[in-house]
Structure 1
Amino acid sequence: MKLEKGNKGNEIGSNQNWIERLSKSNDFVHEHTSLIDKEPFWISYYRTLISTDILHQDVLPFLQKQLPLEELKSKIPVQEIIFTKNPDEIIQKILNGFLAIQKQQNDQECLLINIANSNFRDVGPPTMEASALGPQIGFIEELDTNINLIRKRLPVPELLAEEMKVGELSKTRVAVLYIDGIADPENVNTVIQRINDIQYDHIQDSSYISAMIEDNSNSLFPQSITTERADRVAAGLTEGKIIIAVDGSPNLIILPVTFMESFIAIEDYSYSWILSNFFRLLRLAAIFISTLISPMYVAIMTYHYELIPSRLLDTLVASRSAVPFPPFLEALFLELMIEMVKEAGIRLPLKIGQSLGVVGGIVIGQAVVEAGLTSNVLLILVGLGTLASYTSPVYKFSNTIRFIKFPIIFFAQWFGLVGVFLCFQFTQIHLLRLTSLGRPYLSQYPVRKTSFQDLWIRTPFSMQKLNPSTLRPQEKRKSTGTGKKMGPVNDFYE
């Protein structure tokens, strides 16, 4: 909607147009603050978007004076006040909780005052990434509060935030954060360009953004990490990562990432480096157990009895003697049952879901064994695999592991251990080809010394002197000891 200068009729028409467009909604208010028609002021706002306390305490008392809008702007004690004549901007600001003030109803000039209702839940501990040690602060659904939590941890002017709006209808605020001088400018430009290229009506959560800017949207493996922990975000920024914060979402996106970062918990840094390495390797082993334990059972029990020790074979034969199904159907049935119990526990109300997950799993499992539908040995193995699938600190990666075992079970039924090996090789080839923001996802090739500082294993803090080379950081040293930049350290990266 454009206004022609010098054409008063068009200006009044445009002014009336935005009032008429907004007045179609019952929660829009357009009223006169005076009993005399020729006296100021006219105010317009959505009563469902504003704070009535700010309106009555900080705005309306100043509207009793005969002041021009420019002078009124300096009198009202509200931080964000805009003077504009653009009807499109007026509409957009009112929809964001602003109050529009006009001296007369037909005036084109408006004073826009931010009195938006900003009631959000209080900052609390993270729910999906709980830890026994370390900070207990998680993000919430308000963008400015989340950026505030990050800036409190990194109070440096080099921490930059570039904000944009995404979504034709939702107009969702999205902020890209990085540390200037550390983050690779190519990574920053790539993220901003991909976000600007998004063509979608409604952006409801940060998961929408992560799915739309991934290098391979058809891959099961997440090429970004979503986190609600402020300490994890701050640590990523100092290494040269890019952070994407979305208004309305408590989960922030970290880019680029590697495969091994899915096994790194933030509380690893609260233990000694020896214990941290033990737990990290335990999580890595748990992923292999969760993925392969059921397919290996199917393959061995179907084709490779000779691999089972004789004493264990007697136990397995006695366990399966009353089971009428082949190992493939037995394992598939039990895995699907466990998945349904987990899904039901998530979807049901909290207290009911907890009872179903604990009591329901035990009762159903015992009933299935007693009915002879599955063996108690397989029940133990599936339970172990289910526990192992949740050892990853990244929830999206756990979902990947939950799903990937099913195609391996089918290949184990068709080809035995050869089928399991083929699936493993296919997954490894896929991971080798996968990238995150153009950087190698698996981080195995080329091998860098920085990968052995805090990726595959965690060394003592005294040995973690370099940022990960896979991020191509501008500043390669983590600490100089003098507060001055020491330049690149190419001999560690070549």
Structure 2
Amino acid sequence: MEEVLGQAAKSSDFRKMTPLADEELITLYYFSSLVDGSKASEWLLQPLQEHRCAVDDAIALRACLPFQNVTFTHDPQVVETALLAGCILILLQHKDQPCLLVDVHHDSLGLRQNNETENEFSVVGPKKGFVESVDVNVHLLRTQMQVPELVVEELTIGSVSKTRVVVVYLQGVTNEELVGTIRQRLEDIDFDVLFDSSQLDQIISDHSNTPFPLFLSTERIDRVTYAIISGQVAVLANGSPYAVTGPSNFLDFFISPEDYYLPWILGSFFRLIRLTCVILSIFATPLYVAVLTFHFEVIPDNILVPLIESRMHVPFPPIIEVIFLEITIELLREAGARLPTKIGQTLGIVGGIVIGEASVRAALTSNILLIIVALAALASFTTPIFKMANTIRLIRFPFIFLAGLWGGLGIVAGFVLLMGHLLRLKSLGMPYLVPLFPFRGGNFTDSVIRASYLYTTTRSIFLRPQKLKRYSPAARREKPDED
């Protein structure tokens, strides 16, 4: 015990205190930066001074303290862990008595009070999101799913950070194999400091050498709730406002919670637009390079003349022209994201207009390509999940280089390689392209489109849930008008 206290005493925020001024019957040790001073003064010091007769017996002293979390121990390792978690160590004068650990950590210091979603905004639907406290996040989930079957398992990860990580699932619905797999992968982690749940996403993924996210990371409570009731597993880490859900497939990253708050026809329409925008964002500029470099014959005659006039004074080949504009767009996007909000918006608008206009006037690029690049950039913004949007931005560049080398053949070769890579990917052992491959026709009611609630009564088959039925739609009956 002396070794633990000696090591802690090297820190300037470590305190030693004797609450009974005239006697040294008990001694308190704690880190002042971790404990709640008002809670310790009102609920701990005052009872100790009022019950002086109980300070000789640890059990009697425990009965005098108005705390639920009080631990008896002789283990120095337990004492060290508890002190660093915000507990106060109470040492009695009698060495044969166990020491007491009282939990008085500051549970609100440094935490933001606002829990609105910032990066996954939706016009319709709830605006509540997670915060950096795992206890608050579990509370938010339990208020949304008020059933005893909601199981929360806690682990500690990080040899230095000792980060609390919880696994949340619905017992009787979620496949036990999935729960066991994710529990085992988390328990096997040997890491020093865990800053965010996004690190867990990468550490426990089935394939680390891929730009595609294999777990869905979100700050929205409704998205995590829907994943849990569908049979998925959620992982939350203390200090992170994001939850990780899995197993996830490719189509999950193009589903917005707003789809379920709009009529199903509108929700399906917007979902199809997002999937179409992915294709446009990836292949628009590579097709421009391939056509202008190798395949002039596919351009209609009425478009060929304005295209030639647009590129008449451009001294660079199409691939250099495209890379110049694409990198310019990426620079504007990164600069706008790193700067304060108002400055970033101004930079994005003014910079885009000024650089685009100046590039065309200086004959560094054609105005037609400027339109195509702008459309491709807008299309990438329609992806609801930021990680997948970044992936789409990245894989566009290999297609541009392949189009510049071999034209349409290069684009086809790149597409074959991309599909081969996607077919190899798995999330917690589940194929990444399901329900497209392996084909599961019964799951298309809530994947490519969002069907009516009358037809989304069952959970996804590929998740192998223990309970397939979600709900039973009530029969709609028209009541006669009453006079």
Measured against the shorter chain, the TM-score band is over 0.9
In 2, the alpha carbon distance for the partners of 1:445 and 1:365 equals 41
- Note if contact 2:13-2:32 (Cα within 8 Å) is conserved in structure 1: yes
How far off is 1:433 after superposition? 1.7
Q: Alpha-carbon deviation of 1:445?
A: 2.6
Q: Could you report, residue by residue, the CA deviation over 1:402-449 in whole angstroms, capped at 9, with x for unpaired residues?
A: 000000000000000111111111111211221111001101233224
Q: CA deviation at 1:69?
A: 2.7
Q: CA deviation at 1:267?
A: 0.6
Rate the CA distance shift 1:29–1:106 in 2: closer, same or farther, 3 A. farther
In structure 2, the partner of 1:50 is 35
The structural deviation recorded for 1:468 is 0.1
Gaps in structure 1 of 5+ consecutive residues: 1-14, 483-494
Aligned residue for 2:477? none
In the TM superposition, residue 280 of structure 1 has moved relative to its aligned partner by 0.3
Q: Which residue is equivalent to 1:197?
A: 188
Specify the code of the residue in structure 2 equivalent to 1:475.
Answer: K
Aligned to 1:323: 314
What CA deviation, in whole Å up to 9, does each residue of 1:452-479 have, x standing for no partner? Answer: 2211211110111210011110101112
Deviation at 1:22, TM superposition (A): 0.7
Q: Which moved more, 1:352-361 or 1:69-78?
A: 69-78
Cα deviation 1:118-148 (Å, max 9, x = unaligned):
2211142111110001111000010010011
Q: How does 1:383-422 map to 2 (within 5 A)?
A: 383-422=374-413
CA gap 1:248/1:437 in 2 versus in 1, 3 angstroms:
same
For residues 183 and 330 of structure 1, what CA distance do their matches in structure 2 show?
51
* Most deviating of 443-452 and 160-169: 443-452
Contact 1:16 1:106 in 2 (8 A): no
* Aligned counterparts, 1:440-455, within 5 A: 440-443=431-434, 444-455=436-447
Q: Aligned match of 2:144 in 133, 149, 153?
A: 153
**Paired residue for 1:457?**
449
How many pairs does the alignment contain? 467
Contact 2:58 2:97 (C-alpha < 8 Å) held by counterparts: no
Equivalent in the alignment of 2:228: 237
- 1:69 alignment counterpart: 58
1:359 to 350, 353, 356: 350
- Kindly indicate whether residue 327 of structure 2 is the aligned counterpart of residue 336 of structure 1: yes
C-alpha deviation, 1:481, in angstroms = 7.1
Separation in structure 2 between the aligned mates of residue 125 and residue 389 of structure 1, nearest angstrom:
24
Shift of 1:83: 1.9
Which amino acid in structure 1 is aligned with residue 41 of structure 2? H
Contact 2:215 2:246 in 1 (8 A): yes
Aligned mate of 1:171, from 155, 162, 165: 162
Match of 1:266 in 2: 257
Structure 2 residue 7 is matched with structure 1 residue 21: yes
CA distance in 2, matches of 1:333, 1:354: 22
Q: What CA RMSD, in Å, does the superposition of the two structures yield over aligned residues?
A: 1.4
Q: Superposition pairs for residues 185-334 of structure 1, below 5 Å?
A: 185-334=176-325
- 1:191 aligns to what SS in structure 2? helix
- Structure 2 letter corresponding to 1:257: S
Pick one of 98, 101, 108 that aligns with 2:90: 101
Alpha-carbon distance between aligned partners in 2 of 1:134 and 1:30, rounded to the nearest angstrom: 51
8 Å Cα contact 2:290-2:407 kept in structure 1? yes
Structure-1 separation of matches of 2:471 and 2:173: 12
Structure 2 CA distance, aligned partners of 1:154 and 1:356? 43
Q: Secondary structure at the match of 2:120?
A: coil
Change (3 A) 1:77 1:426: same
Task: Give the counterpart of 1:118 among 88, 107, 111.
Answer: 107
In 2, distance between residues paired with 1:261 and 1:228?
A: 15
Is 1:85 aligned to 2:85, yes or no? no
Are the equivalent residues in 2 in contact too, given 1:165–1:173 (CA < 8 A)? yes
> What CA deviation, in whole Å up to 9, does each residue of 1:272-297 have, x standing for no partner?
11111100000000000000001000
* Structure 1 residue 48, shift from structure 2 partner: 0.6
Counterpart residue number, 1:11 = none
Contact residue 286 and residue 388 of structure 1 kept, 8 A: yes
Find the aligned partners of 1:151 and 1:77 in 2 and give their Cα distance: 27
1:450 and 1:466 in contact (8 A); partners too: no
* Alignment pair present for 1:466 and 2:458: yes
User: Could you say which residue in structure 1 is the equivalent of 2:429?
Assistant: 438
Do the aligned residues in 1 keep the contact of 2:20 with 2:26 (CA within 8 Å)? yes
Q: Which residue of 2 aligns with 1:59?
A: 44
What one-letter code is carried by the residue in structure 2 that aligns with 1:274?
A: I
| Range with greater deviation from structure 2 (115-124 or 371-380) | 115-124
In the superposition, the TM-score normalised over structure 2's length comes to: 0.94
User: Cα offset for 1:37?
Assistant: 4.0
Deviation at 1:339, TM superposition (A): 0.5
**Which structure 2 residue ranges, 5 or more long, are not aligned?**
475-483
Secondary structure of the residue aligned to 2:130 is coil
Check whether the contact 1:342–1:357 (CA below 8 A) recurs between aligned residues: yes
Rounded to whole Å, the distance in 1 between the matches of 2:27 and 2:76 is: 16
* One-letter code aligned to 2:468: K
Q: Which runs of 4+ in 1 moved over 3 A?
A: 105-108
For residues 316-346 of structure 1, give each alpha carbon's deviation from its aligned partner in whole angstroms, at most 9, with x where no partner exists. Answer: 1111111111000000011011101111111
**Correspondence for 2:131:** 140
Paired residue secondary structure (2:173): coil
> Secondary structure of the equivalent of 1:467?
coil
Is the 2:457–2:473 contact (alpha carbons within 8 Å) kept by the matching residues of 1? no
2:21: which partner in 1?
35
Q: Could you tell me the TM-score, scaled by structure 1's length?
A: 0.92
The equivalent residue for 1:489 is: none
Does the CA-based 8 Å contact 2:454-2:473 persist in structure 1? no
Identity of aligned residues (%): 41
